[in-house]
Structure 1
């Protein structure tokens, strides 16, 4: 029996497919050579049957995805086959994913999850974050292996589907094949390694909890580069790790994980692939390990539909209702509430709360702008510099949090308070976090698919009708009365549409 068939047999057993008993040696067989020949025949028959089923299943999955093109002309499906004409790699994304990438494709996160289908093929999900700070899906792929060539093909399909647009920033785990493929396909994108994976690797390789704690501070602390190098050197001296190969390799890759080097690159709040992990957790609710390829694709779309429904609910919550001020700076807070979605407003409020601890302690006048020196209350060893230009209005802080996250930092807000400004300047409002983030792309597809306000009205009306139906059906008279009224209202609205 070949090594490939043995691997296939082990996969079949892992997912619960019945296989004939295999013995360690000929002497172990009750029937000797005759039993061995029948055993091998059964194994080959089972493997052959599995391969035929996989071929039929792949065909059905492709037919399902291509069938979606009838209702979605922008649907993109790409695949490759091996020398035996069996499906090797599969990539797909629909029109909604492409339109959302056009708006929110500045940050891209992806990694591979395993064992999500009966063939044990890795599943790659491309995700990002929308204006409600929710995870969204840009596309997905099922691959037969995880080589550099495979990831180059997958990323190439992604770029083609997204009309050539590259993300500003990418975050992944430390997979070497992914890293090399990203370097080739997205050479100008800032690639960040997941902080959680690096800290977990530190625990595995160094096995010193105190070291992991100090490494986390070096990794995520808002230090200048010189300050980071000093902290790193002190940490190595403390734990005597100057010659440790893992630590040396980690330091060489510092520009891919250290905040001191990454500051200013927009990651939308991403520091780890935890959103990917959360997405995988949600995916488990829809699928099981024995699911075939066709069922996987169908169930995957159920998850995507649920995520889109959540976005519609968030749109409704952001559009309706007036927020109650929660900070001391009511005018600035209400100004933010007018433009930001509900979830982003919470993050903005956190910065407003924190700004009350900041003090402007000085100002330097330069040609064209003023540089304000900001210090936190009772913290004399740390200060930030905020430049302010009135015409055109522009504010920048040395912490670069606005550039990294897209929400004004507490230092900038402290300067706005110092200047007695009651409106949030447009230069501090990143459109991707606002209620109107999608307005520019609404005209690119049929309006019913992108008009979130219309969808929100629909859901609101449906809730009223559900309650009305429940109560009206209690008695026959109420049922007849409400039915007749609804029929009359429906006839009136239909008349207006003609």
Structure 2
């Protein structure tokens, strides 16, 4: 009796079955053979033993094969359903299927080049879609492309970060007074770093009575604020007494930054510091520099006054004169309080939230409250702006952290 030959396909994993199934698709991505129903070999073996009405010889042959396979507990195809149980995908939308989404080496190379040029994820995605004349020709969906761009950005950032650390270590070999500190997030990502060399440290010991700090300069590919500490030497020249970069302008970032600087300077705090009106900086002053006099940049206060009091500032000429008299031509605290109250009543500013906040912070920006402290003749961060203009000739918005530091 000739028995029909029965072929049993064995697979080590489901992934292998799916791979074999994928090979049965046409160029348009449509199934030719239908949908496989997959079961574990051990389950099929149990089911075969319980079946009746089969040829004994065939059953024995199958049982022998399945028994051998059951020992490794692999996978077999028990049956195949010819009819589709789902709506077929249109040919132009096949790239949205997870099994068909592959980022080509060409796309990866273009993404890398665009990231080095300083473009963001959305800009890069738009450029690639235009280059390939449509999302369907890119090979992946917009969401998956942006996800890859962000992953690649993190990878490039880690390489950049390692390059900075290697550079710092090489400097420390040559300059034993070189000090640097890094701030890492819980996930291991870099959040900021600070550095000073021996020359900067020596300058601060002599000219560190008053320092100016601001983070308005952000010319690097990550848009990280650059925070230099600046002072004035005996020739009235601006000097840098420490600098660093932070990933964002939050209270936690500034607190770490200021503590790193204070530690590098041997815990010798300055007598006075001038900063912008940054809401994240104000609360850190008390905790990190409790004995230092904190002054707001006068130019910054005037700019914000024009923004928040615009209608009165520009339409009423008398208000500017009263403001100037109250702020800059008042010599005692008592006189300031009387003039401020009169100005609030005259221009109906009693309920103005910005005016109330400024009054509560008057010790940080009104000159009559700061006359007892030596400020090297400075009342603003204007010297920082001059240094920023100097930096602008050397730094570009596409620079990596490594090139920026170097």
Q: TM-score, normalised by structure 1?
A: 0.53
Change (3 A) 1:59 1:244: same
How far 1:197 moved relative to its partner? Answer: 0.6
Q: Does 1:57 align with 2:155?
A: no
Cα distance between partner residues in 1 of 2:363 and 2:176: 41
Pairwise CA RMSD of aligned residues? 2.8
Distance in 2 between residues matched to 1:200 and 1:31, nearest whole Å = 46
Indicate if the aligned counterparts of 1:78 and 1:91 stay in contact, CA closer than 8 A.
yes
Q: Deviations over 1:323-372 (max 9, x none)?
A: xxxxxxxxxxxxxxxxxxxxxxxxxxxxxxxxxxxxxxxxxxxxxxxxxx
Aligned to 1:241: 349
Which residues of structure 1 form unaligned runs of 5+? 1-8, 24-28, 299-498
- 2:304 maps to what in 1? 201
- 2-side partners of 1:60 and 1:93: how far apart? 18
Q: CA deviation at 1:74?
A: 0.7
Are residues 42 and 167 of structure 1, via their aligned partners in 2, closer, same or farther at CA, if it must alter by over 3 Å? same
Q: 1:257 aligns with which of 356, 362, 365?
A: 365
Counterpart in the other structure of 1:69: 172
Q: Distance in 2 between matches of 1:35 and 1:72?
A: 50
Which has a greater percent of helix? 1
The alpha-carbon distance between structure 1 residues 59 and 161, as it changes in their structure 2 partners (threshold 3 A), is same
CA distance, structure 2, for counterparts of residue 84 and residue 248 of structure 1: 40
1:35–1:15 distance in 2 versus 1, CA, 3 Å: closer
C-alpha distance in structure 1 between counterparts of 2:236 and 2:321, whole Å: 28
Q: How many residues align?
A: 285
Q: Tell me which stretches of 4 or more aligned residues in structure 1 moved more than 4 Å.
A: 11-14, 29-32
- Is the alpha carbon distance of 1:267 and 1:170 closer, same or farther for their aligned partners in structure 2, counting shifts above 3 Å? same
Report the equivalent of 2:126. Answer: 21
The one of 198, 207, 210 equivalent to 1:107 is: 210
User: Secondary structure at 2:241's aligned position in 1?
Assistant: strand
Q: How far 1:40 sits from its partner (Å)?
A: 3.2
Residue 360 of structure 1 corresponds to none
Q: Distance in 2 between matches of 1:212 and 1:178?
A: 29
Q: Which residue of 2 aligns with 1:274?
A: 382
Match of residue 247 from structure 2? 144
Distance 1:14 1:197 in 2: 33
Q: Matched residues in 2 for 1:199 and 1:38: separation?
A: 49
Gaps (5+ residues) in structure 2? 1-111
Specify whether residues 14 and 180 from structure 1 end up closer, same or farther in structure 2 by C-alpha distance, changes over 3 A only: farther
Q: Is the 8 A contact 2:116 2:398 kept in 1?
A: no
Q: Map Cα deviations across residues 423-463 of structure 1 (whole Å, 9 max, x no partner).
A: xxxxxxxxxxxxxxxxxxxxxxxxxxxxxxxxxxxxxxxxx
Q: Is the 8 A contact 2:181 2:195 kept in 1?
A: yes
Matches within 5 A, 1:347-496: none
Report the equivalent of 1:181: 284
Is the contact between residue 104 and residue 128 of structure 1 (CA under 8 Å) also seen in structure 2? yes
- The 5 Å alignment of 1:117-128 reads 117-128=220-231
Q: CA deviation at 1:243?
A: 2.3
Structure 1 residue 138, shift from structure 2 partner: 0.8
Residue 237 (structure 1) shift: 3.6
Q: Which residue of 2 aligns with 1:294?
A: 402
In structure 2, the residue corresponding to 1:88 is in which secondary structure? strand
Q: Which has the greater radius of gyration?
A: 2
Q: Find the aligned partners of 1:21 and 1:193 in 2 and give their Cα distance.
A: 42
Q: TM-score, normalised by structure 2?
A: 0.64
The equivalent of 1:399 in structure 2 is none
Question: Post-superposition shift, 1:31?
Answer: 6.1
Shift of the alpha carbon at 1:113?
A: 2.3
